[in-house]
Amino acid sequence: MRTAPTILHLDMDAFFASAEQAAKPSLRGKAVIVGGLGPRGVVATCSYEARVFGVHSAMPMAQARRLAPNAAYLVPRFGLYRQISEQVMGLLRELSPLVEPLSLDEAFVDLEAGQAAWDEGSARLAAGKLRADIRAVTGLTGSVGLAASKMLAKIASEQAKPDGLVLIEPGSERELLAPMSVRILPGVGPATGDHLRRAGITTVGELAEAGEDELVRLLGKAHGVGLYAMALARDERAVVAERDTKSVSVEDTYDVDIHERVRVRTEVQRLADRCVQRLRGAHLSGRTIVLKVRRYDFSTLTRSETLRGPTDDPAVVREAAARLLESVDTTGGVRLLGVGVSGLADYTQEDLFAQAGAAAAGEPVGSGEEVAVEPAVEPVPVAERRWHAGHDVRHAEFGHGWVQGSGVGRVTVRFETPGSAPGRVRTFRVDDPALEVAEPLPLVERRPGDAGVPAGSPAAAGEG
């Protein structure tokens, strides 16, 4: 293990909820809960103001509503979160070529590999600058842990929350770990934790005292040896640069099981189009189309079809997904549907028009010239648009806003932007032709000479 705290772990603070607060001035300082809003929904994340009421990630949304009835409940906007994540990951890659993303809002960085740090002092400087850059570029905050290993850096970032920096000095690791719960260690989940508790082991110190032989007897050789090493603060895992994306997929869980076969087909077509949008957004194509169906009894079926060559043609993906659906019995109802594309490439092969036509006719797909095909984008009828709570809209007269809620043929919109004061609320018919779905606005308003000023901050408002 290295002798300097040059492994950094970044974890953005309440990422989804913080992004929503930054985008919506009326929600700053208030309880915000992001997740699925239906009866089967769960909390994806929540603001620190909501955590005061006992709300936490993975909690059933119905329980969250009982604990915090006055909180703002929003559907996730993953497009916005990915944009912010790309900005953050870009800042990390400026520090080092070795960046290991764990999720949209979390990553390890080997500062030594990028010569950004070589000792405690330089590591602190690099981490401090990173936190300032993240705030300037995104308007959000992140917590940073520094240590000589990945395990300890992640523990340090947990201690740093929210919006802090914690460095674990080499040599102090065992003393720090000893009183902590065994659940703090990688690989110790609820089942392993309960098994150790029944053996009288609840802390990392007790794990170390038990010895390697006893842990091997309790947990098996591989797990026992690994946990004993971690209990002694030994973690030789390297930071691994991000791997290539293996697949692109989208899925929806429905509040009420879908029984009508026509509706199931329509949903599969819609998911196929969304999947292609994401595929094209990543400048990728793929050969294998995958359909996922979770039925009323929680049984999950997957079907796949491999094409002769990679494609990003929505017609091809839609038709393949429809064929796959024909082999699935949806009697009794469907609670989840998903469409994915794997076997990815950064180019498109085959004559896409021919491929779509041959596939529809059940003919074998032959090779042909590469053809550039523009996606067929059909406008969604206004009456069929879904007004999701928290999503962006634009009104011909009132400008940009976001959906506060909808129902009984009405949609309520608050008109404000990241850089404005809290805005006014107005209600419209769901089929109002002046109201349309909009793209998220940037969270940060830039000015010449600025690295970036968080929208809505005193500086952005011209205050001292």
Residues with catalytic annotation? 106
List the structure tokens of 329.
């019995």
Spatial distance between the Cα atoms of 272 and 362, rounded to a whole number of angstroms: 19
Question: Residue 26 carries which DSSP code?
Answer: G
3-state secondary structure of 310: strand
* 175 close to 231: Cβ distance less than 8 angstroms: no
Task: Report the alpha-carbon distance of residue 4 to residue 6 in Å, rounded.
Answer: 6
Distance in angstroms (rounded) separating the CA atoms of residues 13 and 405: 26
Tokens linked to 300: 């999950």
The H or E element spanning position 178 is none
Cis peptide bond prior to 162, omega within 30° of 0: yes
Answer positive or negative: Cα dihedral of 154, 451, 401, 266.
negative
* Residue among 54, 109, 115, 104 at smallest CA distance from 82: 104
Q: Are 281 and 232 in contact (CB under 8 A)?
A: no
Q: How far apart are CA 300 and CA 212, in angstroms?
A: 40
181 to 6, 156, 185, 190: CA distances (angstroms): 25, 15, 8, 12
Q: How far apart are CA 361 and CA 21, in angstroms?
A: 50
Q: Give, for 425, the enclosing helix (H) or strand (E).
A: strand 424-429
**What's the CA angle centered on 267, arms 379 and 307, to 5 degrees?**
95
Instruction: Go through 166-192 and write b for each residue having 16 or more CB atoms within 10 A of its CB, e for each that does not.
Output: bbbebeebeebbbeeebeebeebeeeb
Amino acid making up residue 290: V
Distance CA 400, CA 353 (A): 38
What are the DSSP E strand ranges found in 273-333?
285-295, 300-311
Which amino acid is present at 411?
V
